[in-house]
Structure 1
Amino acid sequence: MKKAVIALTIASLFNVQACSKAPENNPTLAAESSQAQAEISSSAQYQALADSFFKDYLALEPIYATFVGVNDHNSEFGGDLTEAYLKARHELNTRYLAKAMDIDVATLPDDLKLSHDMFVYDRKIELVNETFPERFIPINQFYSNLITMIQLGSGESAQPFATVEDYQNWLSRLEGFVEWIALAQQRMNEAIASKVVLPKVLVDRIIPQLDSQLVNDAKQSLYYAPINQLPVEFTAEDKAKLTADFQAMINGKLLPALTGLRDYFKTTYSANARASDGWWGLPNGKAWYQHLANKHTTTTMPVEEIHQMGLSEVARILTEMDKVREQVGFKGDLAAFFNELSSNDKFFFSDRQDLVDGYMGLKDKINAVLPAYFNVMPKADYVVKPVEDFREKSAAGASYESPAVDGSRPGVFYINTYNLKAQPKWGMTTLSLHEAAPGHHFQIAIKQELESVPEFQRFQGYTAFEEGWALYAEYLGMEMGLFSDPYQYFGKLSDEMLRAMRLVVDTGLHAKGWSREQAIQYMKDNSPMAETDIVAEVERYMAIPGQALSYKVGQLTILKLRAEAEAKLGEKFDIKAFHDQILTSGSLPMAVMEQKVGRWVKAELAK
């Protein structure tokens, strides 16, 4: 409910009271009136609190503000490694948690009770998070400001480049980025002293990424892209000045800073990188990893329980895979079937563009069946693009980027075309369902388009919910009739196997002392994935521990809630209405989602 709506509601209530008989003469009316006023009061209090928090948070995280379409901070980079930032973040979470706990939750309507639960959960998890030294690892090969800034500067992401001021804002942000690079090195020096460093193999992946950004001529730099896209309406004088300013920034400040960072990684940091591959090798690493597992799955499941869940799921999916092998008449064993699927040229494209075009064709096929399963669908569209050259060697096989909040840019389904043998045709349907519609594109775009929730709720994300939904979307593809081809169904099983193996491998690496090589071999033994893909996956888990656990945990939770709802509601169960419940409050922690679905089932039974 927006502020204007709240004000209107309050005014309407007062008008109704003025036109009614005095409620004190009717105890029932008096009680109802008192409850309504309390609800409006607490709702207004919570809404104001949530709005104020979001504004303060965007001021603290200016790049995030740009991504959510708030352009007030586009000239700022942010000081996420400074002591001032760390103090401000702590004070922000502490102050707003205390304010949230002062609200009379019992008088909130159900939708705001849910929002309040999310808000309190976030503040508490962030306060725990800051007790671990994440500032000591500001860069990894999978994602960091080094990658984000190139994407923003491409002119095809969230950073606007429509006016001269936009260009000047970007130059100012680059100034902050140069300062951040120097500060990152200071933090990594502290990390070396504290022995909180990356594994050597990940350092070896970062260095080529930095090398690719180092060119002698500013005009060849990835950061020069905005100058190649100068709006035609700019004056010749503006164009000349901006071009000169960009060249001065890139040659005079940015490239020297990036060169220094590359040299730092090659010498100082690399020499002090750790030999262990998992978080267990860090000081207090096992406790830190359990926290990360909790944070990403939004549960309190012990790491060992997650590991065993993974082993069970791997065994189940292997059985299903063997059934497909028998169905298609393959004579060898499952290992030989894996080899056939990963090596026979008929299962792969030979041209990068053909792969991208294939996904665009799938988009139309999937879109045709979506109305039978969803009442609510996103207004924003999505497009399919190849992963950019500079990051394709270390990037995942596919990913999704949300659309612009103002509708000016569609969502992007990125497909990695670097190694076509890592992108089998039989895996296309399930990957499209996961990354695009009705997976990430539906969940994230619909969330951004919500109008009756606090702003933070439109942009907040929980990995377990978002990745759990995307994996559930793959499951839904079976009901949609999209896996009638046994090879495409095998692709669905293969992707599900990836998520099941992640439970085993991530926990193995970070809690059980597994080596990188042990993790790679486990995935080779249990899936037909290309080795390059497996290596990139394992190194991703090494860089961002716990994140990969969220997929299966989230999916199994959604499936459990659906099964329980179907059992209780019987013929009253409506798949579209169930999906409405999951998608129309934004991203939710698992416990909050369970509460919401439980209330919906109870209300449906009462009808």
Structure 2
Amino acid sequence: MNRKHLALAVAFSLGVVACNQSNTAQTQKVNEGSVIVSLSESEKANALFQTYFDESMQMDPISATYVGINDFNDRFRAPINKHNLAQSLAFEEKYLAKIKGIDASALSGQDLLSYQIFLRDREIAIKGAQFPSHLIPLHQMGGAHSYFASLGSGKSAQPFNTAVDYRNFMSRAEGFATYMDSAIVAMKEGIEKSIVLPKPLIEKVLPQLQAHILEDVTKSVFYAPLEKLKEDQDITVSDKEQITKDYIETIKNVIIPAYGRVYEFMSEEYLAKGRSTFGLSDLPNGRAWYEYRIETNTTLPLTADEIHTFGKQEVARILVEMTKVKETVGFEGDLPAFFEFLRTDEQFFFKSEQALIDAYTQVKEKIDSRLPMLFEVFPKADYEVRAVEAFRAASSAGASYQSPAPDGSRPGIFYINAYNLKAQPKYLMETLSIHEAAPGHHFQIAIQQEVESLPDFRKFGGYTVFAEGWALYAESLGKEMGLFTDPYMWYGRLSDEQLRAMRLVVDTGLHAFGWSRQKAIDFMTDNSSLAVTDIEAEVERYIAIGGQAVSYKVGQRHIRILRNKAQQILGDKFDVKKFHTQVLIDGALPMPILEAKIDRWIEQQKG
């Protein structure tokens, strides 16, 4: 039975006809060809996973576009309102009830993993509905204003290959405008309930909005697809003329005014109401909200106090390692002076954006040649190095990764931010490339998309603690691959790890212990050689998305603990390549589920 037929059968069995109440693993149902078939619990579960994913893509058409499902490219996300929020919660509750109707004792292997993940995800989503994140729909790290511009640039997931593609985006723009108006309404409600962004974050959002409010539409990032249209040989001249006319009208009369209305509201009304505090704990029910964010991002039962203490211990340990590097290179002066030297000496910085991109491309080739030392499974998709687009560079992270298209039509992208070249020192190249690309995010995400046995909700889903924990763990493999031989490159590795250690302290400090923005900046300045502009952007990132940043170090620690456990138990039977395969081959997993899986693998390897 193919996937479509199976989904139809299980939808029928779970909805129209009462389920068989016996404790057997088989259920007889009628498929669309009126043939009696028996659905095992495995088949019912997998069909349920697929119907969930398909329905979720209809509800979230932007995510559908990003994963290569183009059926909804003409739609935007539903506006923010009580009806749509209730519908979203009801959707999760419906599927929680359905998954509980599956007999987990009849499942094994991949099916059992999927069941456990699906059940957990629905419970977490339902728990999160009590926290009004919809009242803060935009911040400088993301939101509709940001990803819509990326889609509209013609350099992201939105296709611009046919006349229909252009029409789809024009229709999507109408939905975007409606959504942005609803965001204004939500932020006004946030003002009434004292749930608003801190003022420094509002100040960072304003130029992101203003960048799209232009008199000359040819200067807009949204005009770029029309330049491509001129060269397209598959669209008729008459279609091109009509599309160009309509598209320019859409930019002028729909997109630019939508950005303008939000800019006007945020600059003239919202900014004055912005708060002077910074942590989630300063908001109504904020401490519980932050604890939920920790749970969501780490998948582990950790408290802010535990994470804060762990972070301080790691910061102190890494400072000792940094001091050793200072002594190795013969620098005369204390550690703060060494930090200042690394922040400012011209030898550590590139002169141009192109030189930066070229250097990272060379590092890519170097790392690619060494990956077989530690891995036996590799992604089919390649990745390329690109500079962050100018329209979002000022507030973007120093580096990031965008996954390849599942169908292979688009490679993975390792983005380097060239906005401030003094924030991109040469000594970070090896560690940053490992983290964002191979064997970090590119390996983990691309392999996950390519594993055929994974249901789609897992193939395109993920957990910050797993993804970022793996990427930071991957950095720790550098020496095993023969990298970090230059002491400054090794310092770069320490610098990156120190950033993640400081995040544990600063994120919890801001959201649980009342730290100010300046206290967080001072802590990071005192304990690292990061550029001041980079530190400010990092601190404001933690303020905007509390709890996300603690997952890196927590995830790395957990994966390393599992590896050490496997090595200790298996001894000579331990194979690091096979361990890495076990971590990656089932896609992102919550840490407790990954741990249980590795424990089973260890038992199997013992023979």
Normalised by the length of structure 1, the TM-score is 0.93
Q: Secondary structure at the match of 1:160?
A: coil
Question: In the alignment, is the contact (CA less than 8 A) between 2:25 and 2:41 conserved in 1?
Answer: no
Structure 2 Cα separation of the partners of residues 586 and 81 of structure 1: 31
- 1:466-495 deviations in Å (ceiling 9; x for gaps): 000000010011211101111101100000
Moved more, 198-207 or 80-89: 80-89
2:6–2:47 CA contact under 8 A, matched in 1: no
Match for residue 16 of structure 1? none
Contact 2:79–2:178 under 8 Å retained in 1:
no
Which stretch shifts more, 541-550 or 149-158?
A: 149-158
Contact 1:439–1:471 (Cα < 8 Å) also in 2: yes
Structure 1 residue 233 displacement after superposition: 2.0
The superposition leaves residues 104-152 of structure 1 with CA deviations (integer Å, 9 ceiling, x where unpaired) of: 1111122111111110111011001111001100000111111101111
Deviation at 1:76, TM superposition (A): 0.6
What's the RMSD between the two structures over aligned residues?
1.7
Secondary structure of residue in 1 paired with 2:301:
coil
For 1:28, the equivalent position in structure 2 comes to none
**How far apart are the structure 1 equivalents of 2:303 and 2:253?**
51
Per the TM alignment, residue 37 of structure 1 is displaced from its structure 2 partner at its CA by 9.8
Q: Does the Cα contact within 8 Å between 1:309 and 1:503 map onto a contact in 2?
A: yes
Alpha-carbon contact 2:79-2:182 (below 8 Å) kept: no
For 2:341, the equivalent position in structure 1 comes to 340
Residues 210-233 of structure 1, C-alpha deviation per residue, up to 9 Å, x if partnerless? 111111022221111111111222
Residue 548 of structure 1 aligns to a residue whose secondary structure is coil
Tell me how far apart the structure 2 counterparts of residues 36 and 137 of structure 1 sit (CA, whole Å): 47
Distance 2:493 2:433 in 1: 11
Matches of 1:493 and 1:36, distance apart in 2: 55
Moved beyond 6 Å, runs of 4+: 4-7, 34-40
Matched to 1:97, the amino acid is: L
CA distance in 2, matches of 1:54, 1:257: 31
3-state secondary structure, aligned to 1:528 = coil
Q: Which residue of 2 aligns with 1:55?
A: 54
Alignment match, 1:15: none
Counterpart contact for 1:277–1:542, Cα < 8 Å: yes
Whether the 8 Å CA contact 2:201–2:544 is kept in 1: the answer is yes
Q: CA deviation at 1:84?
A: 2.8
Residue in structure 1 matched with residue 359 of structure 2 by the alignment? 358
- Check if 1:584 corresponds to 2:585: yes
Tell me the residue number matched to 2:191: 192
CA contact (8 A) 1:2 1:452 kept: no
Q: 2:433 and 2:79 mapped to 1: Cα distance?
A: 34
- Alpha-carbon distance between aligned partners in 1 of 2:370 and 2:42, rounded to the nearest angstrom: 39
Residue of structure 2 in register with 1:530 after alignment: 531
Q: Deviations over 1:546-582 (max 9, x none)?
A: 0001100000000000000000111111111101111
Measure, in 2, the Cα distance between the counterparts of 1:90 and 1:280: 24
Instruction: Deviation per CA, 1:192-249: give whole Å up to 9, x if none.
Output: 0000000000011111111111110222211111111112221111111111111111
Counterpart CA distance in 2 for 1:89 and 1:475 is 40
Of 209-218 and 404-413, deviating more is: 209-218
Question: Is this contact kept in 2: 1:399–1:413, CA < 8 A?
Answer: yes
State the distance in 2 between where 1:600 and 1:220 align: 56
User: Which residue number corresponds to residue 368 of structure 2?
Assistant: 367
2-structure distance, mates of 1:63, 1:327: 50
How far apart, in 2, do the equivalents of 1:4 and 1:376 lie?
A: 30
Identify the residue that residue 74 of structure 1 maps to in structure 2. 73
Q: How far, CA to CA, are the matches of 1:316 and 1:2 in structure 2?
A: 55
Measured in 1, the distance between the counterparts of 2:80 and 2:411 equals 32
Q: Which amino acid aligns with 1:564?
A: K
Deviation at 1:537, TM superposition (A): 0.3
Residues in 1 aligned to 2:318 and 2:371: alpha-carbon distance in whole angstroms: 26
- SS at 1:437's partner residue? coil
Cα separation, 2, equivalents of 1:61 and 1:346: 47
370-379 or 83-92: bigger deviation = 83-92
Q: Which amino acid aligns with 2:407?
A: D
Find the counterpart in structure 2 of residue 17 from structure 1: none
Partner of 2:166: 167
Name the amino acid aligned to 1:286. R
* Cα deviation, residue 5, structure 1: 12
Higher helix share: 1
After TM superposition, the structure 1 stretch with the greater mean CA deviation from structure 2, 409-418 or 35-44, is 35-44
1:90 and 2:93 equivalent? no
Alpha-carbon distance between aligned partners in 2 of 1:292 and 1:35, rounded to the nearest angstrom: 37
What code does the residue aligned with 2:184 have?
Q
Matched to 1:102, the amino acid is G
Determine the C-alpha separation between the residues in 1 that align with 2:5 and 2:233. 42
Amino acid at match of 2:572: E
Shift of residue 36, structure 1, vs aligned partner:
9.7
Farther-moved stretch of structure 1 (485-494 vs 221-230): 221-230
Write out aligned runs for 1:113-124 (5 A).
113-124=112-123
Q: Distance in 2 between matches of 1:298 and 1:80?
A: 29
Q: 232-241 or 172-181, which moves further after superposition? A: 232-241
| Pairing 1:452–2:453 present | yes
Per-residue displacement from partner, 1:321-362 (whole Å, max 9, x unpaired)? 111111111121111111111111001111111011000000
Aligned to 1:214: 213
CA deviation profile, 1:144-166 (whole Å, cap 9, x unmatched) = 11110111111121111111111
Describe the SS at the equivalent of 2:40. Answer: helix
Unpaired runs of 5+ residues, structure 2, are 8-23, 29-37
Q: Secondary structure at the match of 2:477?
A: helix
Question: For 1:433-473, what per-residue CA distance to the aligned partner results, in whole angstroms no more than 9, with x for missing partners?
Answer: 00000000000010111101111110001000000000001
- Is this contact kept in 1: 2:343–2:529, CA < 8 A? yes
- Secondary structure, counterpart of 2:377 in structure 1: coil
Equivalent residue number for residue 263 of structure 2: 262
Q: Distance in 2 between matches of 1:432 and 1:453?
A: 27
Equivalent positions of 1:146-165 (< 5 A) are 146-165=145-164
Give secondary structure in 2 for the equivalent of 1:206: helix
Q: What is the alpha-carbon distance in structure 1 between the residues aligned to residue 219 and residue 485 of structure 2?
A: 48
CA gap of 1:603–1:239, structure 2 versus 1, over 3 A, is same
Q: Following TM superposition, by how much is the alpha carbon of 1:83 offset from its aligned partner in structure 2, in angstroms?
A: 2.5
Alignment correspondent of 1:129: 128
Which segment is superposed worse, 475-484 or 194-203?
Answer: 475-484
Q: What's the counterpart of residue 551 of structure 1? A: 552
Secondary structure of the residue aligned to 2:141 is: coil
What is the aligned partner in structure 1 of residue 297 from structure 2?
Answer: 296
SS in structure 2 at match of 1:71: coil
1:401 & 1:220 partners in 2: Cα distance? 25
2:575 aligns with 574
Cα distance in 1 between the residues matched to 2:364 and 2:499: 23
8 Å CA contact 1:320–1:493 kept in 2: the answer is yes
Percent identity between the two aligned chains: 49
Contact 2:25 2:103 in 1 (8 A): no
Are the equivalent residues in 2 in contact too, given 1:561–1:594 (CA < 8 A)?
Answer: yes
Looking at structure 2, the residues matched to 375 and 99 of structure 1 have their Cα atoms a distance apart, in angstroms, of: 38
Unaligned runs of 5+ in 1: 8-33
Task: Answer whether contact 2:145 2:259 (CA < 8 A) is retained.
Answer: no
The change in CA–CA distance for 1:599 and 1:36 in structure 2 (over 3 A counts) is farther
CA distance, structure 1, for counterparts of residue 394 and residue 547 of structure 2? 22
TM-score by length of 2: 0.93
Deviates more, 1:529-538 or 1:106-115: 106-115
**Displacement of 1:35 after TM fit?**
7.8
Do the aligned residues in 2 keep the contact of 1:79 with 1:180 (CA within 8 Å)?
yes
- 183-192 vs 82-91, greater mean Cα deviation: 82-91
Q: Tell me if structure 2 keeps the 8 A contact 1:2–1:453.
A: no
Residues 74, 171 of structure 2: 8 Å contact kept: yes
Size of the alignment, in residue pairs?
Answer: 580
What do the CA deviations read for 1:242-266 (whole angstroms, capped 9, x no partner)? 1111111111122122112111111
Question: Which residue is equivalent to 1:410?
Answer: 411
